[in-house]
Amino acid sequence: MSAITVDLRRNRLMLSYLIVAVLLVVLAVAGGLLSDRFLTWRNIGNLFQQLIVLGMVSLGQTFVVLMGGIDLAIGSLVGALTVFLANFLEWRPDLVWLALPLALVAATAVGALNGLLTVVLRVHPLIVTLGMSSIIFGATLMYRKEPGGSVPRAFADIAYAKVGGIPFSAVVLVVIFALAGLWLQRTRTGRSIYFVGGDREAARLNGLPVDRIVVLAYALSGLCAGIAAIFLTARTGVGDPRIGAALTLQSVTPVVVGGTILAGGRGGVLGTFLGVLLVTMLNSLLNFVNVSSYYQWVIQGLIIIIAVGIHTTRRR
């Protein structure tokens, strides 16, 4: 890989970031013009409080997509974990310290299992993760059909708490994204995710432990789903098997909007972060201007298609 190509690719990515950033500014200005309450600190704080769940699942999806896969089990996994957390915490509210690590370990294990299955069975990840999604969803429903459970007030506060006026969850999100970005850029393992996504065979020939990297990417996606589930459970105070249903597709939107190529190997977490901001701000703005949420669906669909279209066309 020559230095020039690297440079071009970097520029292309920068251009993606720039487009999303410009869209963000346009949205913010439009919001400010359409409603005098949109650009208040209160609403900005409110927007940032809403970022964490979509942010975490999108980050997980970014790892997998960069590595050249796709994770469609995210939504069911988040739903199952909220059921686990809410029921566990209803049973023993004092064992928060145990429940959270357990949830994260279970989430990571499910993710790793997804990775293992794609590696061992050589089945397309679309099928593996879709099947896993169905298994998790069914199993969760066997345990609990209706939303239920409860969480102690102190735990619920992590979703609503503010540190110096800034939502705690937003701080967590920014720190995790920064760490993820550094890890992907600066470490050998992080960079090898790009290699595997760019050209799996070449990566294998170069002696990279491809299978392990695949499993790692899915495991990270699981871990991210675990963190998302913790905040979602805190936010809603219950476990609901269906609550993650919309998250799977939603997790893909910020990834592609942020310039990560679905084929893998190119992109980054900064783009995803901007994409998460964009989607969240857009939904909020549409609420502010009293637009039916059916339009929100249509607009999100359009954004995905246009974003992918733009990135694909520019690559030619």
Partner 1 sequence: MSIKSILDHKISRKSFIRGMPAVAAAMAAAPAIQLAQTSAAVASEPETKPGYYGAPRTWMWNPNANTMVDTTKWKKAGPYTIGFSNASISNAWRVAFQHGVLWSAGQHRDEIAHLLVTDANDDPSKQIADIQDLISQGVDILLIAASTEDALDSVVGRATEQGIPVVMVDRKVKTPANYITYVTASDWALGRLEAQWLCETLGGKGNIVMLPGIAGSSVAEIRIKANEEVFSKFPDIKVLEKQYCDWNPATGKSVMAALIQKHGKAINGVLADSALQGYGAIEAFLDAGYKDGEFPPMTGGDVARMYQLANQHNIKMVGIDYPTSMGITGIETALDVLKGISVPDKVEVSFQVVTSPGADTISVKGDRHLLDHVSMSDPGDLSPSNGLPAGYNPSTFNPDYPK
Binding site for partner 1 (CB under 8 A): 35, 37, 40, 42-43, 46, 49-50, 53, 145-150, 156, 160, 232, 235-238, 240, 243, 245-246, 283-284, 287-288, 290, 292-294, 297
Closest distance to partner 1 from the beta carbon of 107 (Å): 18
Residues 137, 240 contacting (CB under 8 angstroms): no
Residue 158 C-beta: closest distance to partner 1, Å:
12
Which of 119, 114, 109 lies closest to 131 in space, CA to CA? 114
Shortest distance (Å) from residue 285 CB to partner 1: 9
Report in angstroms the alpha-carbon separations of 33 from 20, 26, 156, 176, 211.
20, 11, 35, 33, 51
Q: How far apart are CA 4 and CA 151, in angstroms?
A: 54
Measured from the CB atom, the residue of 50 and 253 that comes closer to partner 1 is 50
Beta carbon of residue 182, minimum distance to partner 1 (angstroms, whole number): 30
Nearer to partner 1, 97 or 294 (CB): 294
Structure tokens at 80: 């199952």
Q: Which lies closer to partner 1 via its Cβ, residue 83 or residue 110? A: 83
Q: How far is the CB of 284 from partner 1 (least distance, A)?
A: 5
Q: Which residue lies nearer to partner 1 by CB, 143 or 160?
A: 160
> Shortest gap between Cβ of 46 and partner 1 (angstroms)?
5
How big is the CA angle at 302 (ends 300 and 304), to the nearest 5 degrees?
Answer: 70
Q: How far apart are CA 277 and CA 55, in angstroms?
A: 8
- Which two tokens mark 168? 């705690």
Query: Tokens 């927007």 label which residue?
Result: 47
Q: Which is nearer to partner 1, 2 or 290 (CB)?
A: 290
Cα end-to-end span (Å), the chain: 18
Give the dihedral sign, CA 254/256/261/263.
positive
Minimum gap (Å) between residue 3 Cβ and partner 1 = 45
**Residue 108 near residue 273 (C-beta atoms within 8 A):** no
How far apart, in whole angstroms, are the C-alpha atoms of residue 264 and residue 125?
Answer: 13
- Nearer to partner 1 (CB atom), residue 189 or residue 287: 287
Residue 52 CA, distance from chain mean position: 9
Shortest separation between residue 214's beta carbon and partner 1, angstroms: 30
Complex with partner 1: residue 34 or 127, whichever CB lies closer: 34
CA dihedral over 168, 244, 24, 13, signed as positive or negative: positive
- Minimum distance from residue 36 beta carbon to partner 1 (Å): 10
Of the pair 154, 202, the CB lying nearest partner 1 is at 154
Q: For residues 159 and 157, what is the distance between their CA atoms, to the nearest angstrom?
A: 5
CB closer to partner 1, 156 vs 262: 156
Contact (CB, 8 A) for 214 and 118: yes
Dihedral of the alpha carbons of 68, 72, 78, 81, in degrees to the nearest 10: -90
